Chains A and B, each alone.
Chain A
Amino acid sequence: MKKYSLYELQSYLQRVIALNFQEPIWVIAEIYQLKNNRGHSYIELVQKNTSNQEVCAQCQAVIWSKNIQKIKQATGPVFEDLVREGTEVSLQVEVTHHPIYGLKLSVLNIDASHTLGKMELQRQETILRLKKEDLLEKNTLLSPTPVLQRIAIISSPGASGYLDFVNHLNNNDYGYRFYLRLYASSVQGSQMEEDIVSNFKKIDRSIQQFDCVVIIRGGGSKIDLAGFDLYGIARAISLCNLPVLTGIGHETDSTVADLVAYRSFKTPTAVANFLIDYNANFEGRLSILLQSIVQNSRKIYTRQKETMQKLNQEINDNIYRLAERERNDLIQEQNAIRSRLKQRVEKEFMVLEHIGEKIKILSPFEILKKGYTMTRHEGKVLKNKGLLRIGDAISTIFVDGEVKSRIEQIN
């Protein structure tokens, strides 16, 4: 058997490759690793097994700086989004084999529509899956609390969208106070799904402390937003027991996250406006209710007042009638007592008069006035002659004086 030197083998492979790949070809692969050096981009391309996601093929590729400029002109601003780790790309490559450096793919062109189409396909698949699992409308059917004031924010702390959102909320015209807590998360790249899902779990553990969840991002290209089409994020939003509002900064198409969220907005500022208006609307309804309460209270008060006045009048009338009757009874009693007292007093007057008259009649002076005299012997009034003897001294009392004399004869 013939033995080859290494150089012979490599040179042979170089000829075989050159012979078989005379024209550039298109290769589909995932960018596994990307390193930029001196204007060139060195790429590690892989293909993963669809069933277990294990790498089944791997190869190095390079975009020389001169080609980068050409490709950028062809693809436009999405170049940076296409050439990044984790993206599946369709590359036009020149296949070469170098005796020292081995197999090398030099990228000449990138088919942007392949990546975008693939993403859309994945997006549709995710939507279908969510629909099957009944997760598409779950969050949209929640009933938010009347006031959305305590807000859990999932965002990157440095994102301009996050700062806009916080400033807009805190400087609202109504002076409403919001209680905000940031759950820091990457909002793009390979880490975002894990970050966002993990934050939803954390929020769920403190669910009593919040009224809603807001996902904020500063904006970006379609590929930038691709993470928000991921199933894991959409599922976490759907299963969240609080209404989720998204403001992930896109101008045209909605992401799957927007689709399953309670409400989606194009910008973080629009989310802030919604929250402020939502609370203002509640305050407005409160004012109307208050007005209605005041009006009804006045009506009830007036009605009650009238009833009270009527009752008061009835009570007064009854009391007056009762008092009048009592007064009449009293007057009758009084008259009866007076009449009896009068009779008694008059009777007493008569008795007194009678006594007075009697005393007057019985008084010896009254008898003496009429010419009668009173005879006394030894100090006692004489009522007959029986005890008198001749020579006894007697005194005769007249009305105007006393005469002393002696008995000369007794008949």
Chain B
Amino acid sequence: MYRYDEFDSRFVRERVREFRAQVERRLDGSLTEDEFKPLRLQNGLYLQLHAYMLRIAIPYGTLSSRQLRQLALIADRYDRGYGHFTTRQNLQFNWPKLKDVPDILDLLADVEMHAIQTSGNCIRNVTADHFAGVAADEVEDPRPTAELIRQWSSLHPEFSFLPRKFKIAVTGAEHDRAAIKAHDIGLRILRRPGTGEIGYEVIVGGGLGRTPMIGKVVREFLPRADLLSFLEAIMRVYNLEGRRDNKFKARVKILVHEIGAEEFRRRVEQEFAALDGPSVNADPEEVKRIAAYFAPPPYEELPERSVKLSIAKAAHRDFARFVETNVFAHRVPGYAAVTISLKPIGGVPGDATSEQMRIIAELAERYSFGEIRVTYMQNLVLPHVRNDELFALWEALDAAELATANASLVTDIISCPGLDYCSLATARSIPIAQSLSRRFADGARQREIGPLGIKISGCINACGHHHIGNIGILGLEKNGAEYYQLTLGGDATENAALGERLGPGLAAEEVPDAVEKIVNVYLQERSVGEEFIATYRRLGIAPFRQAFEKGVEGDQHAAH
């Protein structure tokens, strides 16, 4: 894992000290709320419906046991004993007091963490594939790239006041597990055909929110050494030409859309050609230094197959099912990556109690070289578990009610906090997730349905990624009541697609029936081995809409 050097430590400590003084001046009245608000936001502190909320960056979703324990301690000492993992691999505390936040930030700095640039119109926390360094389909670990971008973008003077927020995601794998096409910039590490040289595919202008867009490729192959100067060229074009007159049209996706991908590309290339590359690009020695922190842990040489695992699977049905859904093949023989679902049936997606955090920290130390990953699906991962030890890990997880075997299944629902916490929300989203989770609680049925991503947002800002959910649910308000719009066919992967609206909005209590009808159409119509999204692509929306409308009409008849 990356370790702060002297410069990093000093930078973070100084920032805490600065914010402590700002909070003091706010509390003694020297700063007004208008003056203070941008300062607190730059330090990740929001004011939500019931209280302040602190959003803590977890760069590229990588945590150590020590860090997770510290988060648990903060949850207990300064919050209400839990935290919420978000769709950008961050952690949010929902109840901190303003007066305590500087102390919280000091505790974070003790474990090399902070909340800088988790809000505001700057380059936000850089996210990455949660199976970074683990996945067999990976060209290269994306985290050194993400860390380099983090260092370059932290307090970058030119990019601290962008037209709007800016999100970057990186993957090093063939299969996109980081939703890179739904980011302002998505980077995919790849090998240049023919030469085998490693570089980047650069995608710009993706994003969700009120105007969802899939990102466009602006460079098919960017040599590794040119990364920062090319990013700088993109940021300059955006900073100069992104719209500042209208907040809702200020994201880079709107610029790319309005001038067209070709023109955007031309302007970026022009800027890139004019930039003094060597003065911007990272020193190769520095890149090497960063990469060294992400060297693989000291794996043992193990046989591919584990007899112990086979025996345990044969003896324990629930364990076998857990392995089937939550265990991911590791590139190193004898190891596996394990998804710890934060989606227990009827639970709050992404929430973890301080006790669970401590248990997971302990298990990571015992079984996974002290390393934990946060996924944008709002789950946690132990990335390096020996196959021989999977059963012992599962038993410990099961005892802590952390062994829900539903990764990527219909109850592995992404949900934003919605109107239960968020001041921007127009409707609640967590209760919808809970009701769907209960409706599809039966494990056998979930496995029969197979991979199916439901994603729920409580407003058009789309933190719950509803546009790229196989089934997307958007909570809105009409005439003083919450209602929900369904979309179908969204996809967050390398085949990224935006969902299509199914029909009129529904009351909360109608959502589970509607989703069930959609699922039933799929189960009836699917070919052997065909996942939901493939069936949807083959059939289009029509049969689903038909079933949905029948349901809506039927309900209306019943109501009259």
A-B complex is real: no
Binding site for A on B (CB under 8 A): none
Binding site for B on A (CB under 8 A): none
